């Protein structure tokens, strides 16, 4: 049961609420707008910059604090700081319609930017602008999920655009020039040839150096292990 008396009411405004259900109870945190995602992305590590109040509520809008005894049982700890971190990490961020729209627009543009950096028009090898990629995404009716990062979405969007009829798009390529000592790197050379997408030139110099020039995907970069 939540505590709710005039002495423990605390009404907050202009907040983002993070909610987590545990043991049949609802636990909420009052956070500063736009700070929760920064904390989850590890861009913000100071809880003082994330929380408007260092306490757990059952209803932020009504200023109702959580019953500590019940909360300790449900979270299996009396460490309130750890409880707050658990709610921040696993709770659901309650967004207003305006916040949700702004977030979707920002994510959409971030994804388009990554795609534009990684892809070209295969007919002329020219890069697409972010605006052009955004139009392609809209024409292809691509929708994004807030629980995925822009990079995760970008990989999926590239696949969707390449498979959709009428879109001329391909991963951009870069020329890679590698020089290594041939005698001591035979296994490495064999592995390199497997990784290269399109070999332009191979040569061996008189001093035992092996040179390889190839075209490869600009991203992701492949590592030899």
Domain ranges of the chain: 16-94, 97-171, 175-217
| Arithmetic mean of pLDDT, 73-82 | 95
Same fold: 16-94 with 97-171? no
pLDDT reported for residue 119: 92
Q: How far apart are CA 200 and CA 43, in angstroms?
A: 42
Task: Average the pLDDT over each of 50-54, 81-85, 94-98, 140-144 and give the range with the smallest value.
Answer: 94-98
What's domain 97-171's superfamily in CATH? SBDS protein C-terminal domain, subdomain 1 (1.10.10.900)
pLDDT at 105 over 80: yes
- When pLDDT is cut at 50, 70 and 90, the band that residue 168 belongs to is very high
Digit-coded pLDDT (tens) for 186-206: 777 777 777 776 777 888 887
pLDDT at 216 over 80: no
CA angle 41, 43, 48 (to 5 degrees): 110
Q: Does domain 16-94 have CATH number 3.40.50.170?
A: no
Q: How far apart are CA 111 and CA 152, in angstroms?
A: 9
Q: Which two tokens stand for residue 185?
A: 């790197």
pLDDT reported for residue 225: 46
DSSP 55-124: S-EEETTTTEEPPHHHHHHHHT---HHHHHHHHHHHSEEE--HHHHHHHHHHHHHHHHHHHHHHEEETTT
Percent of the chain having pLDDT more than 90? Answer: 49
pLDDT reported for residue 13: 57
Q: How many CA atoms lie within 13 A of 35 on its CB side?
A: 20
- When pLDDT is cut at 50, 70 and 90, the band that residue 181 belongs to is confident
Digit-coded pLDDT (tens) for 117-135: 999 999 998 999 999 999 9
pLDDT at 136 over 90: yes
Does the global pTM surpass 0.75? Answer: no
Residue that wins the pLDDT comparison between 56 and 183: 56
Answer yes or no: are the C-beta atoms of 129 and 116 closer than 8 Å. Answer: yes
pLDDT at 4 over 60: no
pLDDT at 68 over 70: yes
Phi/psi of residue 184, nearest 5 degrees? -95, 5
- When pLDDT is cut at 50, 70 and 90, the band that residue 185 belongs to is low
Nearest Cα to Cα of residue 218 among 174, 176, 175, 178? 174
């Amino acid at each position: 049961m939540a505590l709710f008396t005039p002495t423990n009411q605390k009404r907050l405004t202009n907040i983002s609420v993070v909610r987590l259900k545990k043991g049949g109870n609802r636990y909420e945190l009052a956070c500063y707008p736009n700070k929760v995602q920064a904390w989850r992305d590890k861009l913000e590590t100071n809880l003082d910059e994330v929380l408007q109040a260092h306490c757990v509520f059952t209803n932020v809008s009504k200023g109702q604090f959580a019953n500590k005894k019940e909360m300790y049982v449900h979270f299996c700890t009396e460490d309130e700081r750890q409880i707050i971190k658990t709610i921040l990490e696993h709770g659901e961020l309650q967004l207003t319609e305006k916040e949700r729209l702004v977030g979707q627009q920002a994510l959409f543009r971030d994804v388009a930017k990554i795609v534009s950096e990684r892809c070209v028009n295969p007919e002329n090898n020219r890069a697409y602008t972010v605006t052009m990629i955004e139009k392609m995404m809209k024409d292809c009716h691509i929708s994004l999920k807030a629980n995925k990062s822009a990079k995760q979405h970008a990989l999926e969007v590239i696949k969707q655009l390449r498979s959709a009829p009428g879109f001329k798009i391909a991963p951009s390529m870069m020329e890679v020039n590698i020089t290594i000592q041939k005698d001591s790197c035979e296994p490495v050379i064999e592995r390199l040839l497997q990784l290269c997408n399109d070999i332009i030139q191979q040569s061996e110099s008189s001093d035992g150096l092996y040179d390889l020039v190839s075209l490869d995907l600009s991203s992701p970069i492949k590592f030899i292990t």
